[in-house]
Amino acid sequence: MKVLGFESSCGETGVALVETGADGPPRLLAEALHSQVAMHAEYGGVVPEIASRRHLEAISPVIERAVADAKLSLPEVEGIAVTRGPGLVGSLLVGLSTAKALACALDIPLAGVNHIEGHIMASFLSDKKPQFPFIALVVSGGHTNVYLVNNYHQFQQLGQTRDDAAGEALDKAAKLLGLGYPGGVIIDKLSKNGNPHAFDFPRAMKDSPDFSFSGLKTSLSVMLKKRGRPFTEDELPDVVASYQEAIVDVLVQKTIRAANANTVRQLVVCGGVAANGRLRKRFARVAEEEGMELFIPPMVLCTDNAAMIAVLGEIILKNRGGDALDLNAVSRWPLVNRPS
C-alpha cells in the first residue's frame, strides 16, 4: 500500500510517501520537509500565527517535491495519513484540510493520526523493528512521556512531565544563556566540548515515574542572577553539558526503571530530543549493561517529519479503515487505547 503522509502540527511542513508490502519493513519512497526554524528563531520559539501562514505557503510545493522524488503520480497513492493532533490548531488545519481535499479528489481513505504515536512508529521504518511489548520514551519540545506499548492499539502511560517537556527545558536554557533557537540543537553541539559534571544541577522527582524540568530551568536562572554577569565563552560548554546531563540522567533512569518494573527488554526512544548525541550514547550504554534492545530512529526521523505519520497511517488504514471527512484538528490528544 502506498500512503501519503502529512505533518504540520508545529513548525515543520512535511510530506512523505511510504510503501509497504506483505512482508519486510515499510519503505520510505520520498520525503520532503520545509522547516520554519529560521523564521521563528528571532522570536525564540514558534509563533502560532506565523506558523500556520507559512504552512499554507509551503504545503503545495512540498507535496509536489515528495511526489516527484518518489517518481509517482498522485493517482497512484492508495491512502492518506495526516497528523490530527496534538499541536497548534491553525497549523494542524493546513495539513488536515489539504489531506481531506486530496482524499476526496482521489477517492481514497484518510486516517487522522496522533503525532505522539507517529514519533513512536518512526522506529518501524528501520530494518530491525521493535517487538511488542516495548517501553517507549517520547521526548520532544512538547512531550516527555513513557509508555508501555503492548501492541499497535494499546498504550499504557507510565510517566509524564508535570510541567516543562525536556526539549522545552533545553530551549528555555538556551534562551536564558542567549544562545539562540532551537536550544536543543545548540546545546547538543556546544556540550560536546564541555564537562557534564562541572556544575551541579537538580534531578527532580527521583522516586516518581513522572518528570519535572521547570525547577532545573529556574536553578539556571537563579545561578545567572547570583553571578550578576553572563557566563564566559570558556564556561558555557561546561554549563550546558552539565544542564543537559541533568536531563539525560532522569530520562535514562526513569525509562530503564519502567522497563525493569514491567519486565520489558525492548526500548524505543523517539521525538526531537532523541536526536541528542549524549542521550543516544547514554541509552546505548545502559541498554547494553541491562541486556535490553534499543531502537532509536535516525536523527532525521526523531524530529518532526511526515514519514512517521505515513507509516502509522498505513497501520491504521489496514487495521481500522479510514476516518470520515468531517474529522477535526485537536490541540490536546492524550495517547490512549484506540479501538482495534
Mark 119-158 with x for binding to ligand KG4 (rule: CB under 6 A) and - for no binding. Answer: ---------------------xxx----------------
User: Is 304 among the residues that bind ligand KG4 (CB under 6 A)?
Assistant: yes
Question: Cα separation of 167 and 141, whole Å?
Answer: 4
User: Is 246 among the residues that bind ligand KG4 (CB under 6 A)?
Assistant: no
Sign of CA dihedral 153, 137, 31, 92: positive
The least CB distance from residue 104 to ligand KG4, in Å, is 28
Cβ distance to ligand KG4 smaller for residue 20 or 305: 305
Give the number of other Cβ atoms within 10 Å of residue 9's Cβ. Answer: 29
Q: Identity (one letter) of the amino acid at 209?
A: P
Cβ distance to ligand KG4 smaller for residue 102 or 248: 248
Cβ distance to ligand KG4 smaller for residue 116 or 267: 116
Cβ distance to Zn ion smaller for residue 86 or 130: 86
The least CB distance from residue 132 to ligand KG4, in Å, is 23
Residue 51 Cα distances to 54, 76, 238, 340, angstroms: 5, 30, 34, 34
Phi, psi at 7, each rounded to 5°: -130, 125
| Inter-residue long-range contacts of 23-27, CB under 8 Å, 24+ positions, other chains counted | 25/124, 25/125, 25/126, 25/127, 25/129, 26/124, 26/125, 26/310, 26/311, 26/314
User: Is 140 among the residues that bind Zn ion (CB under 5 A)?
Assistant: yes
Closest CA to 305 of 50, 107, 122: 122
The least CB distance from residue 160 to Zn ion, in Å, is 15
Interactions with ligand KG4, residue window 149-208 (CB under 6 A): 167, 170-171, 182-185, 188
User: Is 145 among the residues that bind Zn ion (CB under 5 A)?
Assistant: no
DSSP bridge partners of 267: 135, 294
User: Is 335 among the residues that bind ligand KG4 (CB under 6 A)?
Assistant: no
Interactions with ligand KG4, residue window 267-286 (CB under 6 A): 271-273, 275-276
Interface residues toward ligand KG4, by CB under 6 A: 10, 140-142, 167, 170-171, 182-185, 188, 271-273, 275-276, 303-304
